Amino acid sequence: MKKIMVLTVAMLLTGTAWAGDGSLKQIMQQLGKDYSSLNHAILLKDFAGAAHFAHAIADHDKPSMGQRLKIMGELGTEMSAFKKADGRVHELAIKIEEAARAKDMPLLIQSQSQMLTACMACHTSYRSRIVNLLE
């Protein structure tokens, strides 16, 4: 527990703590909608739409501080891997946005596929625990 408190204080002091006040469930539902819209835009070769939805994914809202603290308490030492998984999706969303703006369809499709893999890896590792925790 002491490590979790130290990590929380360090995140708050360095400004790297997530900001926001939404529920994780609402945020994930919006990410799902944005991801579906991104896929649809790619299928239509709507590069502006793909860039828009990739940006929305990269710049998604963050859970409330209360929910973040619960998640940190549950995950403990796994929290850094959880944050790394979120960071990977963020990086891929930025890469997708850049590929869409460049109208680089092969890179766009490759990055979108990598994002799906990253999302599913995180869900496989953490979803059931976090859903049960936040119910």
The CATH number of the domain holding residue 94 is: 1.20.120.10
Classify residue 13: in a domain, yes or no. Answer: no
The one-digit pLDDT tens for each residue of the chain (135 residues) are 444 444 443 443 333 344 445 799 999 999 999 999 999 999 999 999 999 999 999 999 999 999 999 999 999 999 999 999 999 999 999 999 999 999 999 999 999 999 999 999 999 999 999 999 888
Asked if the structure places residue 12 within a domain, the reply is: no
The DSSP letter of residue 63 is B
User: For the stretch 95-122, what's the b/e string if a residue is b when 16 or more beta carbons lie within 10 angstroms of its beta carbon?
Assistant: bbbebbeeeeeeebeebbebbeebbeeb
Q: What is the pTM (predicted TM-score) of this model?
A: 0.81
- Identify the sign of the CA torsion 65, 122, 132, 34: positive
pLDDT at 74: 93
With respect to residue 59, please indicate whether it lies within any of the assigned structural domains. yes
Q: Is residue 3 part of a domain?
A: no
User: Does 89 map to a domain?
Assistant: yes
Name the maximum alpha-carbon separation found in the chain: 51
Residue 97 belongs to some domain of the structure: yes
State residue 31's pLDDT score. 95
Q: Please tell me the predicted confidence (pLDDT) of residue 75.
A: 94
Query: Is 16 inside any structural domain?
Result: no
Question: Which residues constitute the domain of residue 109?
Answer: 22-134
> Structural domain tally of the chain?
1
Task: Assess if residue 43 is contained within a domain.
Answer: yes
Q: What is the structure's pLDDT at 135?
A: 83
How high is the pLDDT of residue 21? 57
